[in-house]
Structure 1
């Protein structure tokens, strides 16, 4: 991806099926440097299982996707929806959760406030009083970002094979614009 001019405008809009190639390109740019140092095999698994067209097609059918676009390129994306509509099983969870499944910003666009802007948009759209998300144990950059935004660690779930999933939650009462 060519680096955009520093002052180039970023627009946020709803994601569509036409964005799937851009989502994959974003995954190729963000997953290896983010997860490779934690567990290289896990990073490859993410790309192979969760950053493929079929997964995005299924996700677009049941989740809300937001795209940050600059000069016609997808530079960031967020996806969120109900836990009950996930493709994965969560036997440790009782009740329903609204979960932000993805929030990624292309490394060339870090530091421009795009992640904060997408998170604020997600928080405004969530219907309940809480927003949940998972962070892979060892992803300190994500932990720092989410803690600074008011998320707190609630639980860790591991399978002994892959890095633990750390669930974070934010109470949205009184913090959202409506």
Structure 2
């Protein structure tokens, strides 16, 4: 049996159903053990067609596809174009909003490849992202890729958001 072919490409509006299906596969096992209500809130607010349509209008989206199915995706853009408010942040940042790989495809290097693609597309010399407190696999992945914790933001109702940053200065030297 032949190995399934994995392709990487820009995301489009046609991918929105695939993004939603990916969210349904990754959000409950990732965030449910941390806070089940938070996981459901994520699906209800951030993994819906209207949110993806708005995001696709202002952010870059990358897709990993296998046999016609979205198996991973990443999205990034400027904080100033976000649909959320960040009152604690001054200035603008390039932020990776999502990087998710379907659990059936973990361990194949897909997340690392998507992250490398995002880093190559970033215009500035640093990339930011948020990780939810308690998501230890994500912390381990991003720390191994050179991200460092910069700040924690909590509202006492939901798990803390932990902002990580990676310097991309070496990119400019290439």
1:17 corresponding residue in structure 2:
13
- Asked whether 1:50 is paired with 2:13, we answer no
**1:172 corresponding residue in structure 2:** 168
Find 1:72's aligned residue among 68, 76, 89. Answer: 68
**How far apart, in 2, do the equivalents of 1:82 and 1:107 lie?**
28
Spell out structure 1 runs of 4+ moving beyond 2 A: 175-178
What CA deviation, in whole Å up to 9, does each residue of 1:105-138 have, x standing for no partner?
0000000000000000000000000000000000
Task: Give 1:115's aligned residue.
Answer: 111
TM-score by length of 1: 0.95
Pair 1:91-2:78 in alignment: no
Deviation by residue 1:21-59 (Cα, 9 ceiling, x = unmatched): 000000000000000000000000000000000000000
Tell me, which stretches of 5 or more residues in structure 2 are unaligned? Answer: none
Residue 100 of structure 2 is matched in structure 1 by 104
Is the contact between residue 124 and residue 176 of structure 1 (CA under 8 Å) also seen in structure 2? no
Structure 1, unpaired ranges of 5+: none
CA drift at 1:84:
0.4
What's the RMSD between the two structures over aligned residues?
1.4
Matched, 1:127 2:154: no
Deviation at 1:177, TM superposition (A): 9.0
Distance 1:94 1:120 in 2: 27
